[in-house]
């Protein structure tokens, strides 16, 4: 079985690639990256791509299942337009090429609150991506909606403070739907969801993510 991954150098993506390489059900893993990142491994094919010209690399976007963990922050992107380009356009083009190349299953790491009609930019961006990928009609589409994501190596002070606050609230039974999960557990849930949920389109909320990642 062959998997293709974008966003593999991010916190969750790195963990996903590591778990795919350890999983005997997968005999090949292709990761599209902006620059060399991974050490050489038997099952791994790392392809350095220009995401502005992703169609030039369609020969590498082939396999049984595609995983998308790509994303950036508004601060890192520099503008809303630039963030939309990464979080929406690049992922949609990747999905479109995968579909055209015969990939039957697509796993998308999205966000809680994603809604194409939202007045909030981030939620609208994530929701718009989901709706557009749904239109591609994959045989299997699984969209994951985690609450918070606990990134062990994050240097984002605001994010760390928010995770700490959420954990404190969770401990007294508040804001459980925002309960943060480790990247290791979230990556495990992505792989498990591929094998567990066979619906044509399935949105996996936090409760189910926790259940499949134990």
Rounded to 10 deg, the angle between the 91-100 and 121-134 helix axes is: 10
Burial tier of 93 (Cβ tally within 10 Å: 0-12, 13-18, 19+): middle
Instruction: Give the DSSP H or E segment for 16.
Output: helix 11-22
Cα–Cα distance measured from residue 214 to residue 180, given in angstroms and rounded to the nearest whole number: 14
Q: How many CB atoms lie within 10 A of CB 207?
A: 10
Write out the catalytic residue numbers.
122, 126
């Amino acid at each position: 079985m062959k998997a293709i991954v974008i966003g593999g150098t991010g916190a969750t993506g790195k963990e996903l690639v590591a778990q795919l390489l350890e999983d005997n059900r997968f005999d090949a893993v292709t990761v599209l990256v902006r620059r060399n990142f991974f050490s050489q491994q038997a099952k791994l094919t790392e392809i350095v791509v220009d995401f502005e010209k992703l169609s030039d690399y369609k020969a590498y976007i082939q396999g049984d299942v595609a995983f998308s963990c790509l994303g950036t922050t508004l601060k890192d992107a520099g503008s809303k337009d630039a963030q939309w380009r990464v979080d929406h356009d690049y992922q949609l083009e990747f999905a479109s090429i995968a579909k055209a190349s015969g990939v039957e299953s697509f796993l998308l790491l999205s966000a809680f609150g994603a809604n194409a009609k939202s007045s909030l930019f981030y939620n609208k961006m994530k929701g718009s991506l989901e709706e557009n990928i749904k239109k591609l009609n994959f045989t299997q589409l699984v969209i994951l909606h985690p609450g918070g994501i606990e990134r062990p190596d994050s240097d984002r002070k605001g994010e760390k403070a928010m995770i700490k606050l959420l954990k404190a609230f969770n401990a007294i039974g508040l804001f459980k739907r925002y309960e943060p999960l480790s990247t290791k557990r979230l990556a495990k849930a992505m792989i498990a969801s591929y094998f567990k949920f066979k619906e044509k389109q399935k949105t996996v909320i936090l409760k189910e993510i926790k259940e499949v990642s134990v």
